[in-house]
């Protein structure tokens, strides 16, 4: 059996990666539609060696569509997801618009695959930093029960879209040539800098990105009381989010035990031989679908503490790959 698939945001950083991931995984496609704004109507994209024209999204775009992959920003999702669902499509939405809606499952296939079963037309794809963190931590949680997570992120500019990628490139060139390039997407110059702000600030002093890590982790892991202390930072990296993570567990855990658990965990690759400079770095993780973990060590500050370094491709496992895996679950569970 094959399916009719639409991609909304097909010209964006995540949309382009969705196209690649569908190709690589040989997703069973009957008809495919590429949707974006009117600005992109008529542009060409390639899928499986065939050129397609991008269409401006409209109500008719979703007629006959089985699966709609959305990555065009929250406002577009709020507008178009209910329309696509009303036409019979299952929407897999990469924006934050529906993630905390109690009627919408929030799914990481390695953690809570069964949650896709209660969807009502929309399934949310979690925040990129949250996905890679729970893929690595959930297997440890199952055995040792995590009480607390302290995390600092080092997030790539591609997470903020195509304009932010251009910011890094243009600013870097400008600095080398002694000019100044005014940032277009990010709140500060990002070249040769780091910015401790991703998304808007909330009254409690945290950013929205940080609140996503708290709330989404709880929803995905079905642990409403797990404590998460995040700081989210943008760094001048094109692709690949890194995270310095410390956990406190209920049961004692050694670094060796954690390594053994993670070596068997789905979607996780352990790269941990620090003496030989083996630990994951974003340049090497970019382009890969797994979550990479290294620097696994007993934490010096907690009784039952463990620290580690987690790296994932934010466009792939953090967005496109996770969304396509959710689509694969719909097929597996015969929900479409």
Contacts with ligand A2P by CB under 6 A lie at 9-13, 15, 36-37, 39-40, 57, 72-73, 76, 161-163
Contact, 232 vs 130, CB < 8 A?
Answer: no
Q: How far apart are CB 265 and ligand A2P at their closest, in Å?
A: 30
Q: How far apart are CB 98 and ligand A2P at their closest, in Å?
A: 17
C-beta of 16 vs 307, nearer to ligand A2P: 16
E strand spans, the chain: 3-8, 29-36, 44-47, 50-53, 55-56, 67-70, 90-93, 122-124, 146-154, 227-231, 241-249, 268-270, 291-298, 305-312
122-124, strands of its sheet edge to edge: 55-56, 29-36, 3-8, 67-70, 90-93, 122-124
C-beta of 71 vs 249, nearer to ligand A2P: 71
C-beta of 36 vs 198, nearer to ligand A2P: 36
Of 119, 141, 189, 241, the active-site residue reads 241
Instruction: For residues 336 and 330, give the distance between their C-alpha atoms in angstroms, rounded to a whole number.
Output: 6
Minimal CB distance residue for ligand A2P: 12
Strand pairing report for 241-249 and 305-312: antiparallel
Q: How far apart are CB 164 and ligand A2P at their closest, in Å?
A: 8
C-beta of 48 vs 56, nearer to ligand A2P: 56
Residues pairing with 243 in the sheet = 153, 310
* Cα distances (Å, whole numbers) of residue 14 to 186, 324, 332: 18, 12, 24
Of 128, 141, 189, 232, the active-site residue reads 128
Q: Is 128 a catalytic site residue?
A: yes
Q: How far apart are CB 32 and ligand A2P at their closest, in Å?
A: 15
Give the residue numbers annotated as catalytic, written as ranges: 128, 241
């Amino acid at each position: 059996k094959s399916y009719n698939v639409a991609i909304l945001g097909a010209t964006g950083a995540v949309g382009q990666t969705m196209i690649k991931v569908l190709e690589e995984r040989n997703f069973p496609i009957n008809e495919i539609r590429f949707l974006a704004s009117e600005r992109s109507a008529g542009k060409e994209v390639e899928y499986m060696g065939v050129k397609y024209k991008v269409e401006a999204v409209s109500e008719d775009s979703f007629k006959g569509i089985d699966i709609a992959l959305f990555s065009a920003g929250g406002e577009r999702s709020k507008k178009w997801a209910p329309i696509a669902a009303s036409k019979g499509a299952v929407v897999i939405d990469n924006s934050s618009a529906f993630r905390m809606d109690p009627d919408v499952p929030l799914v990481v296939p390695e953690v809570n695959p069964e949650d896709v079963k209660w969807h009502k037309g929309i399934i949310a794809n979690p925040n990129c930093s949250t996905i890679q963190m729970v893929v690595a931590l959930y297997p440890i949680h199952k055995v040792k029960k995590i009480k607390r997570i302290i995390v600092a992120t080092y997030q790539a500019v591609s997470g903020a879209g195509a304009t932010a990628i251009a910011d890094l490139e243009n600013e870097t060139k400008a600095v080398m040539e002694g000019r100044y390039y005014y940032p277009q997407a990010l709140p500060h110059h990002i070249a040769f800098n780091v910015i401790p702000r991703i998304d808007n600030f909330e009254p409690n002093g945290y950013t929205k990105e940080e609140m996503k890590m708290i709330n989404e982790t709880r929803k995905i892991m079905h642990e409403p009381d797990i404590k998460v202390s995040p700081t989210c930072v943008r760094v001048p990296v094109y692709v690949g989010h890194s995270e310095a993570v410390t956990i406190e567990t209920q049961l004692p855990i050694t670094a060796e035990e954690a390594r053994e658990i993670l070596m068997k965990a789905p979607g996780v690759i352990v790269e941990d031989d620090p003496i030989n400079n083996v630990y994951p770095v974003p340049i090497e993780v970019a382009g890969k679908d797994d979550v990479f973990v290294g620097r696994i060590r007993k934490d010096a500050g907690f009784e039952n503490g463990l620290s580690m370094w987690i790296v994932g491709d934010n466009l792939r496992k953090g967005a496109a790959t996770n969304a396509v895996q959710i689509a694969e679950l719909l097929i597996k569970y015969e929900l479409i």
